[in-house]
Amino acid sequence: MNRSTLAEPYPTRRTLLRTALTAGVAAPLLAGCVTGGGGDADPAAGNTGARTADNPLGVKAETPLEVVIFKGGYGDEYAKNAETLYTRKHPGAKIDHQGVQKIGEALQPRFVANTPPDVVDNTGASRLDIATLVAARQVADLGALLDAPSFDDPAVKLRDTLLSGVVDDGTFAGVPQTLNFTYTVWGLWYSRSLFAAKGWSYPKTWDDMLALCATIKAAGIAPWTYQGKYPEYINDPLLSMAAKTGGLTLVKAVDNLEPHAWKAPGLIAAAEAFAELAGKGYLMAGSEALSHTEAQAAWSKGKAAFIPCGSWLESEQKGVTPPAFDMVMGPVPARTAGDQLKPTAVQAASSESFLVPAKAKNPAGGMEYLRILFSQQSAKAFAQSAGTLPAVAGATDGLTLSSGLGSVRDAVAAAGPETFTYRFRTWYAPLAKALDDATGELVNKRLTAAGWAQRVQKAADAVARDSTVQKYTR
């Protein structure tokens, strides 16, 4: 995602959160040919040392390390901090650090020439197409890194220090090939101070939500608004509700393009819930015409009580939200008492994607750098400076957090192993677009829940039949 400015266009920020792993509508860079000259010579030959308890990845002393970082809204100081730790452990190694904004433009020629850096933060609007790199065998298998002792505790493997789903997010055909540093959570946002002043409690069930919406509307406040020009925002709570009802079986059926997946009872029930939200007049008038910044500004000004969004919202609203607004995020309420997932389950996925090129000169050093970056010390410093949840479990423990980030951390903790994510959006852009359009029609009362399911299923079937589209399964 391109976080160089808080006012960036929605498709860049939003879509790139969803496409940290595979190609998406933002058109990441990489030509069809990603292999070049150089023969079969191993560029890492002679650059690997003996693996020991103190050097589990076999970093050879004094071997240079080249690090390329996406320098967006998070900057690159957090990466430099990890480099400092690296040189303390390997004092003879010289590090070549590059912070760039256009990763694809800078590195595509180098991948073609088989002269890539040793570790890459492949993020931003012009990131490299990771699916193409993987298919061309240009990305190293990170299994040895994940199974290595963590930098903090040699008794704990690195993979066991990561939040739920992080390893899966970077796995292609059973092989872990990227490792994502940040963790994004989706839910419903509200002002804790407003709710306290009004005596309102956050709803745990959809029936509770509808009852509260009636109370909110009677108080002269719109219960909900949403980023109407980009209905993907309101898709998230709808899909979260469906996942809670139908469980991971439903999520995987959707992602795997199974016949009739979009007509599952959980999805129909969720669509009916949001049709009812609109039908009862609980969406702020005019929301359909609002951009993400406009809808979020209206919400920050108290014109609506709820807004759906990901965990970047607090950062994005800096300078707009009034003092003492005290924004927090809650999980999507349960649709039924018999849901397969608990009410605390949340939709979450990792982003800020790091990889070690297969043709790197110092792949052992690249993995060692990631072992250090994903340490408690590095992750904790990142959380403090960026105000964003790292993908390392416990990285925010003991920190004084803002209201928004604190609520995101608490939501992840409450969900435990019940975090989930859909992947069809990153895999199949035409299906994602069809869903967005259908949901926009649904919440503006121009499409019924049954019509919504039929329309989206038709789009899914078209993708499934298209032999030119590469298919993925989970």
DSSP 379-404: HHHHHHHH-S-BSBTTTTTT----HH
Model confidence at 302: pLDDT above 60: yes
Band the pLDDT of 428: cuts 50, 70, 90: confident
Model confidence at 233: pLDDT above 70: yes
What integer is the mean pLDDT of 175-198? 96
Work out the percent of the chain whose per-residue pLDDT is above 70: 91
What integer is the mean pLDDT of 227-231? 95
Model confidence at 339: pLDDT above 70: yes
Please tell me the predicted confidence (pLDDT) of residue 44: 73
Model confidence at 113: pLDDT above 80: yes
Please tell me the predicted confidence (pLDDT) of residue 29: 59
Return the bridge partners of 347, or none: 186, 420
What integer is the mean pLDDT of 339-359? 95
Which range has the top average pLDDT, 45-54, 271-280, 417-426? 271-280
Band the pLDDT of 14: cuts 50, 70, 90: very low
Please tell me the predicted confidence (pLDDT) of residue 28: 55
- What tens digit of pLDDT does each residue of 314-325 get? 888 888 899 999
What integer is the mean pLDDT of 200-206? 97
What integer is the mean pLDDT of 419-437? 91
DSSP 129-154: -HHHHHHTT-B---HHHHHSBPSS-T
Model confidence at 464: pLDDT above 90: yes
Please tell me the predicted confidence (pLDDT) of residue 219: 98
Please tell me the predicted confidence (pLDDT) of residue 61: 85
Residue identified by tokens 């410093």 is: 381
Please tell me the predicted confidence (pLDDT) of residue 203: 97
Cβ atoms < 10 Å from Cβ of 215: 14
CB–CB of 120/103 below 8 Å? yes
Return the bridge partners of 185, or none: 348
Band the pLDDT of 1: cuts 50, 70, 90: very low
What integer is the mean pLDDT of 122-149? 90
Domains along the sequence of the chain with CATH:
10-176+356-395 (3.40.190.10), 186-347+423-465 (3.40.190.10)
Greatest distance between any 2 Cα atoms in the chain: 73
Please tell me the predicted confidence (pLDDT) of residue 9: 31
What integer is the mean pLDDT of 185-214? 97
Contacts of 445 (CB under 8 A, 6+ apart): 275, 278, 279
Please tell me the predicted confidence (pLDDT) of residue 2: 31
What integer is the mean pLDDT of 176-191? 96
The Cα–Cα gap between 107 and 115 comes to 9
Burial group, residue 337, by CB count within 10 angstroms (0-12, 13-18, 19+): exposed
Band the pLDDT of 472: cuts 50, 70, 90: confident
Band the pLDDT of 216: cuts 50, 70, 90: very high
Burial group, residue 39, by CB count within 10 angstroms (0-12, 13-18, 19+): exposed
The Cα–Cα gap between 114 and 434 comes to 38
Work out the percent of the chain whose per-residue pLDDT is above 90: 75
Q: Is the pTM of this model over 0.75?
A: yes
CB–CB of 391/180 below 8 Å? yes
Positive or negative CA dihedral for 400, 401, 402, 407? negative
Question: Which tokens go with 15?
Answer: 């879509």
Question: Which tokens go with 218?
Answer: 């009677």
CB–CB of 89/52 below 8 Å? no
- What tens digit of pLDDT does each residue of 85-96 get? 999 999 999 999
Strands 175-176 and 171-172: antiparallel
Band the pLDDT of 408: cuts 50, 70, 90: very high
> Mean pLDDT in the chain?
89
- The region that residue 402 occupies, defined by phi over 0 for left and psi between -120 and 50 for alpha, beta otherwise, is beta
Q: What are phi and psi of 329, to 5 degrees?
A: -115, 140
Band the pLDDT of 135: cuts 50, 70, 90: confident
The Cα–Cα gap between 420 and 198 comes to 33
The Cα–Cα gap between 236 and 206 comes to 15
Model confidence at 418: pLDDT above 60: yes
Please tell me the predicted confidence (pLDDT) of residue 6: 28
Please tell me the predicted confidence (pLDDT) of residue 441: 98
- What tens digit of pLDDT does each residue of 27-74 get? 455 544 454 444 566 787 767 778 999 999 999 988 999 999 999 878
Model confidence at 406: pLDDT above 90: yes
Q: What angle do CA 243, 249, 253 make, to 5 degrees?
A: 95
